[in-house]
Amino acid sequence: MHAMQYEITLPADYDMDVIRDRVARRGHLLDGFDGLGLKAYLIRERGRDGSPVNQYAPFYLWRTVEGMNSFLWGGGFQGLSDDFGRPPARQWSGLAYEEGRFAAAPARVAVRRRERVPDGTPAAEAAADAVARAGRLAARDGAVLAAAAVDTGRWETVLFSLWAGEAPAAAEGDVFRVLRLSAPERDRLPRGRQW
């Protein structure tokens, strides 16, 4: 599994209904995309859920590298780049994926927490901690799913979780609203620790 996210930060007075309309019109295009575990179409709105910005920031869990590369080098990412400029696409290697007790419920909220692995902390210890935290998140009431991944270029872990309602306080991080979920191969994402 591989995680990926790009963030398109928009002006403070940007009409976020433009993004909602875009997702409503185009979101279905990835519903059958080979290699895609899931794509959460996410937004943050300035002044809501503690967000300082308006942002469109889809988050992906790829089942295969080939699927991710097909998206990046094919028409999917190019269409977004044509409309908004090409954003940096952050990538993380998967550490864990867990379905939550509310896995069948529609996802309403996403929480993303990125943390640097402190110098001196053994990499295996940081990875095991991220896996355990993802498991604890997935076990909470309202959890749709939780994933953990690591960027070894920056030595940064990311915890990503989807929630059927408002996220609990234990799910610390940036809060996003979920506009849509495309999940063609979610049922094929490997569960649990991924090494």
Beta strand ranges found along the chain (DSSP E): 2-5, 8-10, 36-44, 54-56, 59-62, 90-99, 109-116, 143-151, 156-163, 174-182, 192-193
Give residue 7's region: left, alpha or beta (phi > 0; psi -120 to 50).
beta
**Predicted model pTM:** 0.96
Q: Write out pLDDT tens, residues 144-170.
A: 999 999 999 999 999 999 999 998 887
Q: Write out pLDDT tens, residues 11-67.
A: 999 999 999 999 999 999 999 999 999 999 999 999 998 899 999 999 999 999 999
In the block, tokens 């433009």 appear at 18
